[in-house]
A and B are shown apart, each in its own frame.
Chain A
Amino acid sequence: MNAVLAIDTSSNWGFALSIMPILLRGLIVTVAAAGLGFAIALVIGLLFAILRRSSSRLITWPLVCFLEFVRDTPLLIQLFFLYYVLPGYGIRLPAFLTGAAAIGLQYGAYMAEIYRAGIEAIGRGQWEASVALNLGRRSVYRDVIIPQAIPRIIPALGNCLVSILKETPILYTVSVLEMLNYAIIIGDRTYQYTIPLTLAGALMLFVTTICAYLVRWIELIVPRRGIALR
C-alpha cells in the first residue's frame, strides 16, 4: 500500500485528487468482478432455463428447489459459504473468482426466470413449425427460440447488469481489493471517511449510468426484425 502513504491530506481537493488513482484501480477490479459475474450468470441462467423446461421431473424438481433456494437466501451467506466452506472440501478459489462465482450463481438463478419469460413469450406456432420441419431440440433452441427471445429480454438483462454492479462491493467482505475496500483502507489510515466513501459512491453512479446507456444502445442495435412485443 505504498500509494496510500503518498496521500495528500493538506486540503479536501488535494486529498480527493490524490486518492483518485487508488480508487480507480479498485474500480477496475469491481467492474471486472461484475463483468465476470454477469457473464457467468448469462450462461448458467440460460442453462437453468432450458433444463427447467425438461419433461423429466427427475431434472426439474431438484432444479426448481435449488433455484428457489439460491434466489431466496442472501448473497452474502452464499458468498461466505463458497469462501469459507468449499475450501474444506478441497475447492480453493481466489477470493476474486469466488466472488464472481457467487454473483454469477445468484443472478443466474434470477436470469433463469427472465429467460423463461422470454422463451414462453414465443408463440406455440414457432414450436409447432419446428416440429413440422423435424428440427432437433438443439436447433429449435439455438436457431428458432433463443434468437427471438433474447431481443425481448435485453432490458431485463440490462437491469441485472446494473444490479450486479451495485452488489459487487459485497466482495469487500471476503477481502477482495476492490473499490470499497480501498476506500475503507484510505479512511482507516487517514481517519477521513467522508471523501473516499463519497468518491466511491460517485464513481459507482458514473459506471452504472454508463451501463444503463450502454444497455439502451444495445437494445437499439440488436436486430428487431419481425420480433413483436418490444
Chain B
Amino acid sequence: MNPLAAFRNVSKSFGHYTVLDNFDLEVMPGEKVTLIGSSGSGKSTVLRILMTLEPFQGGSVEVDGLAYHVPGHKPPFCAPERHLSAIRSRVGMVFQAFNLFPHMTVQRNLVHAPMTVLGLSRKEADRRAQELLAMVGLEEKASSFPDQLSGGQQQRIAIARALAMRPRLLLFDEPTSALDPETVGEVLGVIRRLADEHDLTMILVTHEMGFAREISDRICFLDKGCIIEQGPPDRMLRNPRHPRMREFLASIPTPQTFAEREAGVRADASARCAVTMDT
C-alpha cells in the first residue's frame, strides 16, 4: 500500500533559521499520527506545508500521489495554482484559533465552501451541514453566529466545516490549545469519535498526551526539525528511548483524566472566589 502523505528529505528554513531538516514522514491511509515536541520543533510547520500554507525548499512532499513541487514552476510554491487546488481538495485543516468566518452564520460557514468549490446544490449542502452539525452535537446552533458560541463549540463547528469538504487527510493544529479547560473535553470527544468511526487519515499536533495515547496509531517526537523517535503511543509515552524525548515528557504535566482536571479547575475557581470575597 502506498502512503497517503509522504515527506522525503524535506528541508525548510526561514532565513537562517532551519525549521525542518531532512524531514521524513510517511502516513498510511487511515492512519492516525500524532506529532509532539517542544515549541519550535517544526511540528506545526509539517501541517502547514501539507495544507500549502507554507512553501518548502528541498526534498519532496506528496499527498495521494500528487507531488507538491511541479518541475518548471517558480518558487515559493513551485506549482501552478490549479495543481495546489487539487492538493487542497484532498486535505483539510483545523486550526488552533478556529478561524470560522465571523460574519457568516454557522450554517453559512458549513455550506459556503461546498457550494462554491465543490459545486453542491443549496439543498445538498444544507443536508450535509445538518448531518455534520448532528455529528458534532450542535444541531440547534445552525443560525447562530460564531461569536455567540463558546470556544469549544466554535472548534466543533470548525471541524464540521473541514469535514464538509470531504478531505482524505485531516490536519489538527493544536485544536484544544486555545480553549478553556472545561471545553477541551467536548472537542477531544468529537475528534475521538471521528477517529473511531471513519477511515479518515489524521495528523494531529497536540500537547494532550493522554488523548494522543488514546487515539493515535503512532506518535512521532520532533526535535529541531527531525523526527528523533517514533512508535506506538504506549511504548513511546511509557518507555521513551531518546534522552530528549524523556526530557520533554518530564517537562509537561502528567496526563490527567478529564474528571480530575475538571475537579481541579472547580477547586481553583472556588478558591479564587473565596479570596475575592475576603478583600
> A and B: partners?
yes
Identify the A interface with B (CB < 8 A): 123, 125-126, 128-129, 131-136, 139, 143-144, 147-148, 223, 225-228
Contact between A134 and B165, CB atoms less than 8 A apart:
yes
Query: Do A132 and B116 touch (CB < 8 A)?
Result: no
Cβ of B93: which chain A residues have Cβ within 8 Å of it?
128, 132
We find that the number of chain B residues with CB closer than 8 angstroms to chain A is 27
Residues on the B chain within 8 Å of A128, using CB: 51, 53, 93, 95, 99
Is B85 at the interface (CB under 8 A from chain A)? yes
B53 and A129 contact, CB distance less than 8 A? no
| Residues in chain B near residue A144, CB distance under 8 A | 101
Q: Is the CB of A147 within 8 A of B100?
A: no
Q: In the bound complex, what is the Cα–Cα distance between A134 and B100 (angstroms)? A: 14
CB proximity of B87 to chain A, nearest CB, Å: 9
Residues of B within 8 A of A136 (CB): 85, 116-117
Given contacts A131-B51, A148-B102, A226-B147, 8 further A-B contacts (CB under 8 A): A125-B97, A131-B88, A132-B95, A135-B116, A136-B85, A143-B116, A225-B103, A226-B146
A134 CB contacts on chain B under 8 angstroms: 85, 88-89, 113, 117, 165
Mark each residue of chain B from 105 to 131: 1 if its CB lies under 8 Å from any CB of chain A, else 0.
000000011001100000000000000
Q: What are 17 inter-chain pairs, A to B, with CB distance below 8 A?
A: A125-B95, A125-B98, A128-B51, A128-B93, A133-B161, A133-B162, A134-B85, A134-B88, A134-B89, A134-B165, A135-B116, A135-B117, A136-B117, A143-B112, A148-B103, A226-B103, A226-B146
Contact B88 A139 (CB under 8 A): no
A132 touches B103 (CB 8 A): no
Closest CB in chain B relative to A152 CB, distance in Å? 11
Interface, chain B (partner A; CB < 8 A) = 51-53, 85, 88-89, 91-93, 95, 97-103, 112-113, 116-117, 145-147, 161-162, 165
Select A223's contact among B85, B103, B112, B113, beta carbons within 8 Å. Answer: B103
Assembled-state Cα–Cα distance A168/B53 (Å): 47
A225 x B117 contact (CB < 8 A): no
What is the CA–CA distance of A116 and B165 in the complex, to the nearest angstrom?
30
Q: Give the docked Cα–Cα distance between A133 and B159 (Å).
A: 12
Q: In the bound complex, what is the Cα–Cα distance between A228 and B52 (angstroms)?
A: 28
Q: What residues of A have a CB within 8 angstroms of the CB of B97 in the complex? A: 125
Residue of A nearest to B94 (CB): A132
Collect the chain B residues with CB atoms within 8 Å of residue A139's CB: 116-117
Whether the Cβ atoms of A126 and B101 lie closer than 8 Å is yes
Residues of A near B52 (CB, < 8 A) are 131
Contact of A135 among B95, B113, B146, B162 (CB under 8 A): B113
In whole angstroms, what is the CA distance A228 to B145 when docked?
13
Which of B85, B102, B116, B117 is A226 in contact with, Cβ under 8 Å? B102
In the bound complex, residues from chain B placing their C-beta under 8 Å from that of A131 are 51-53, 88
B100's nearest neighbour on chain A, judged by CB, is A129
Give the most central of A123, A135, A226: most B CB within 10 Å. Answer: A226
Chain B residue nearest to A144 (CB atoms) is B101
CA gap between A134 and B95 in the complex, in Å? 15
Complex interface: chain A residues within 8 A of B113 (CB): 133-135
